[in-house]
Structure 1
Amino acid sequence: MKIKEVTTLQCYLERSAFAEMGILPTVHTRKLANLKELNVSYNKLSSIPPELGDCENLEKLELTANVNLTELPFELSNLKKLKHLDLAENKFATIPVSVLRMSSLQWLDISKNSLRDLPEDIDRLEELQTFFLHKNKLKYLPMSTVNMINLKMLVVSGDELTSLPSSLTENPDLKFIKLFDNPVGLDVSEDTKDQVFEQTEHDREFMQTYIETLKDRGETRVLQVFTVTQRRSGMKQATNSARRTVQAPNRNGGPGMTDF
């Protein structure tokens, strides 16, 4: 197969000199014009080459758990076809400007970073449907999140939220909000509080949505564990088992699932 015909690329640099330097090997991106999926998770990268922005057909980019990654080059703004971006378990203090310019983005995981706030223009991500923000240091969500009309799933557990836009739950397409482990106090109606905090009644719907997310990510290992546990013990124990399972990284070096 010629390099230009490659559509999926998964790199593990753990034992290479590149891992020691924390860099991704320079790639002649013009030869990867058809690349649609790139996974460089768990590689201890501290930077991403700007040349990656030349891969304009890229649809899925996995950068999970590179630990020292704090920013993305502006050139990644050129990834207009990117739909799926995983930045979990890094050291981002804010959402990179280049991410806000990824106009086709539908799935974003930036959990387990060091976010203290979201940009006021977060609603530029008009196509975003799934948004994982859990285990950061967020104290509030900007009012602009209300304008994210395609958002279906929002997870902000384990942050430091003290306020939340009261109209956030009025979005009819927003199927699931998870706010556990936050000191949030809402000056809103009791009905809204019920919608936000009565998560037990929504666990079944959440797990259905989450399973679809797992399928999209190709995480069949976790799906199989969930299915077996569900058959044995019912939905409640399956939920607990799935949560325990997703906390552990893949021991084979591949990306694990994010717990929330």
Structure 2
Amino acid sequence: MNFFLIFSSVLVNCIGYEITYTDYDSIKELIHKPDEVGLYNEITNNPDFSCSFSFEVNEGDEDTKEIKIIKLNNVDPETGENMFPAIFCEINYIKRLILNDLTLSRLPNQFEKFKELSFLNLNNNEFKEFPQVLFSLSKLKTLHLDFNKFVKIPSEIIQMNSLEILSIGYCSHLISINSNLFKLKNLNELDLSRNPLLFKNNNFIAYSIYSDDKASTKNENNDPTKFVSYKSLKKLHISSNGLSTFPRIFYNFINLEELVVSRNLFKNIPRKLIFFINLKILDISFNHIKKLTIKQNMLSNLLKLYLNHNKITKLLIPDNTLKSLETLVLSCNRFSKLDKNIFRLKQLKSLSVFGIVFTEITKFPRERDDPISLKLTLKDISVLPNIFSYNCINELTVKCKDQIDKEINIFEHVPINSKIKYLDLSKCFLTSIPHSISKLINLETFEAEFNQIITLENVFIGMTLKFLNLSFNQIISIDRSIFDIYTLERLDLSFNNIELIPSNINNTRNRNLQIDLHENPLRSGIDVDLQ
């Protein structure tokens, strides 16, 4: 018996096994009737046989068992195909079976013994035909068939009544799906991503009929919009299929809650989605959208919208649109103005604009109880002031591309009840900290690393500052009252040009202050003249 891995925890026991032509005793422990004649012929007749696998049992439910085959050498000498060992079919109550990356091209008839199987992963194998034996697995709920060589999904799939999740993406040979797939009443999630031949035209639905004594699957007039599963399907992924229009086959799937159409050729959000009133997540990233116009009352229940890596130069979001939106990802687009189209989104909690250099920010006074965090890259610091009028931010991080010589009142538009608690102005070419920073009465953390500040003045009077980070500047002079800010807990002055520190450093009233002065050219002694 060869064990290559042993893992145990409170909830799960996972044991690794390795069986070979000469040593297969370990698998006998897992079989209900291990002494049946001929049970191990598949192993004993193949001198090259080897198989490494893990066997996992959930301690909270003895019937929840999982097998994952990690390595397999069971080549049929006649066909040259790697074969799934039928001996595994003798193990009872297997609910999860992971067989990816094994170069399998077919499954044995004994596979039908996995009566309790609910999860099956056959990703990255060599299947050219949909394994017929899967139709007998009445409890199968999740099936992964990505990266195989299927040409079609057959009509018999209607027999898989319990199927809830089907992933059959990255199948470069797939050209046809039988309409019966869309009649599965429990199908909740479908992934058809990266099937380039399938979506090449609108005629990929086949209408060959399969029926048995239990049900008829006939679709009158072969109408592709009259299917049952459009009521149950909640998640649809059709990324990387060269789509420029939304496929007609999906028009009636209006109960969708998640739609992923990333890495296609869309130039706008498909108009048909106006009818998808239950849609909560839309990923249309990596497309060709230039001017984005979202129609009035469109996508009113959407919570997350991914528009990153498009070519957007103009964004138009009318009132009463995207009323529920909480997450908006606009990173790596081509617009440079941050305006009221975004600020008017009342429920927004997360805004991502990474990779966009803003040259203008619209002044838009607004206040809300649940502020957001925001990271901006600006052309220069002169673009910044208007952002403070939008009093819906509690964490603001800013980076600047260019330096300007004129003096800017950065905090000109800070309201009297500013909600900002964290502000990072690192790499913004600051030569000093403006006195008007004191308007940020709730500021707790201020970071301004990698700037050009020479003198550290105490411009933080009346604030509740806890952490001040001014490392990697050019500071040579420090206002001694800095050390008496009673709320200050940490002061980072590392990597500056400080030689002498104020004389009151040892008598500061703030005895809890931690000061970091490493990598400064400190001299022994203190500066008694420093005020």
Give the TM-score band, short-chain normalised.
0.5 to 0.7
Instruction: Kindly provide the CA deviation profile for residues 2-31 of structure 1, in whole angstroms up to 9, marking residues without a partner as x.
Output: 4233111110343x5235x37694693431
Seen in structure 2, the aligned counterparts of structure 1 residues 43 and 23 have a Cα distance that, compared at 3 Å, is: farther
Question: 2:354 is matched with which residue?
Answer: 157
- Structure 2 gap ranges (5+): 1-160, 162-182, 206-222, 389-409, 427-444, 447-531
Report the Cα distance in structure 2 between the residues aligned to 1:62 and 1:165, rounded to whole angstroms: 31
Structure 2 counterpart of 1:5, from 186, 205, 224: 186
1:168 is displaced (CA, Å) by: 6.8
Q: Contact 1:69–1:92 (CA<8 Å) still a contact in 2? A: yes
1:169 is displaced (CA, Å) by: 7.8
Higher strand content, 1 or 2: 2
The one-letter amino acid paired with 2:424 is E
Indicate whether 1:38 and 2:236 are aligned: yes
The one-letter amino acid paired with 1:81 is N
Question: 2:339 is matched with which residue?
Answer: 142
The one-letter amino acid paired with 1:88 is S
Seen in structure 2, the aligned counterparts of structure 1 residues 86 and 54 have a Cα distance that, compared at 3 Å, is: same
1:123 is displaced (CA, Å) by: 5.6
Detail structure 1 runs of 4+ shifted over 6 Å in the superposition.
Answer: 199-202
Structure 2 counterpart of 1:18, from 191, 198, 202: 198
Which has the greater radius of gyration? Answer: 2
Structure 1 counterpart of 2:375, from 178, 196, 199: 178
TM-score normalised per structure 2: 0.33
Matched ranges for 1:98-113 at <5 A: 101-113=298-310
Indicate whether 1:89 and 2:270 are aligned: no
Structure 2 counterpart of 1:198, from 416, 424, 431: 424
Report the Cα distance in structure 2 between the residues aligned to 1:182 and 1:129, rounded to whole angstroms: 27
Instruction: Kindly provide the CA deviation profile for residues 172-224 of structure 1, in whole angstroms up to 9, marking residues without a partner as x.
Output: 4232112136557134464579959617869xxxxxxxxxxxxxxxxxxxxxx
Seen in structure 2, the aligned counterparts of structure 1 residues 37 and 48 have a Cα distance that, compared at 3 Å, is: same
Indicate whether 1:28 and 2:224 are aligned: yes
Question: 1:254 is matched with which residue?
Answer: none
Seen in structure 2, the aligned counterparts of structure 1 residues 8 and 23 have a Cα distance that, compared at 3 Å, is: same
Seen in structure 2, the aligned counterparts of structure 1 residues 23 and 95 have a Cα distance that, compared at 3 Å, is: farther
Question: 1:133 is matched with which residue?
Answer: 330
Report the Cα distance in structure 2 between the residues aligned to 1:22 and 1:183, rounded to whole angstroms: 48
Higher helix content, 1 or 2: 1
Instruction: Kindly provide the CA deviation profile for residues 231-255 of structure 1, in whole angstroms up to 9, marking residues without a partner as x.
Output: xxxxxxxxxxxxxxxxxxxxxxxxx
1:69 is displaced (CA, Å) by: 2.3
Seen in structure 2, the aligned counterparts of structure 1 residues 181 and 142 have a Cα distance that, compared at 3 Å, is: closer
Report the Cα distance in structure 1 between the residues aligned to 2:365 and 2:424, rounded to whole angstroms: 16
Indicate whether 1:49 and 2:251 are aligned: no
RCO greater where, 1 or 2, for CA within 8 Å and sep 6 or more?
1
Q: Contact 1:39–1:61 (CA<8 Å) still a contact in 2? A: yes
TM-score normalised per structure 1: 0.64
Indicate whether 1:71 and 2:268 are aligned: yes
Q: What is the number of equivalent residue pairs in this alignment?
A: 200
Instruction: Kindly provide the CA deviation profile for residues 18-48 of structure 1, in whole angstroms up to 9, marking residues without a partner as x.
Output: 35x3769469343122211101112232321
Instruction: Kindly provide the CA deviation profile for residues 112-149 of structure 1, in whole angstroms up to 9, marking residues without a partner as x.
Output: 00111210416611100000001001121332433211
Q: Contact 1:30–1:55 (CA<8 Å) still a contact in 2? A: no
Report the Cα distance in structure 1 between the residues aligned to 2:293 and 2:201, rounded to whole angstroms: 19
Secondary structure in structure 2 of the residue aligned to 1:55: coil
Report the Cα distance in structure 2 between the residues aligned to 1:183 and 1:41, rounded to whole angstroms: 37
The one-letter amino acid paired with 1:28 is P
What do you get for the CA RMSD once the two structures are aligned?
A: 3.4
- Structure 1 gap ranges (5+): 203-260
Report the Cα distance in structure 1 between the residues aligned to 2:319 and 2:380, rounded to whole angstroms: 23
Seen in structure 2, the aligned counterparts of structure 1 residues 37 and 96 have a Cα distance that, compared at 3 Å, is: farther
Report the Cα distance in structure 1 between the residues aligned to 2:287 and 2:296, rounded to whole angstroms: 15
Q: Contact 1:126–1:150 (CA<8 Å) still a contact in 2? A: yes
Report the Cα distance in structure 2 between the residues aligned to 1:25 and 1:142, rounded to whole angstroms: 43
Question: 2:316 is matched with which residue?
Answer: 119
Secondary structure in structure 2 of the residue aligned to 1:75: helix
Instruction: Kindly provide the CA deviation profile for residues 60-119 of structure 1, in whole angstroms up to 9, marking residues without a partner as x.
Output: 0011112x2223432221001100000111111133546960110010010100111210
Greater shift, 52-61 or 115-124, is seen at: 115-124
The one-letter amino acid paired with 1:56 is I
Report the Cα distance in structure 1 between the residues aligned to 2:377 and 2:203, rounded to whole angstroms: 36
Q: Contact 2:359–2:378 (CA<8 Å) still a contact in 1? A: no
Report the Cα distance in structure 2 between the residues aligned to 1:43 and 1:61, rounded to whole angstroms: 14
The one-letter amino acid paired with 2:198 is F
Report the Cα distance in structure 1 between the residues aligned to 2:296 and 2:237, rounded to whole angstroms: 17
The one-letter amino acid paired with 1:9 is L
Identity %: 23
The one-letter amino acid paired with 1:92 is I
Report the Cα distance in structure 2 between the residues aligned to 1:25 and 1:72, rounded to whole angstroms: 23
Q: Contact 1:157–1:181 (CA<8 Å) still a contact in 2? A: no
Instruction: Kindly provide the CA deviation profile for residues 143-164 of structure 1, in whole angstroms up to 9, marking residues without a partner as x.
Output: 2433211100111121242122
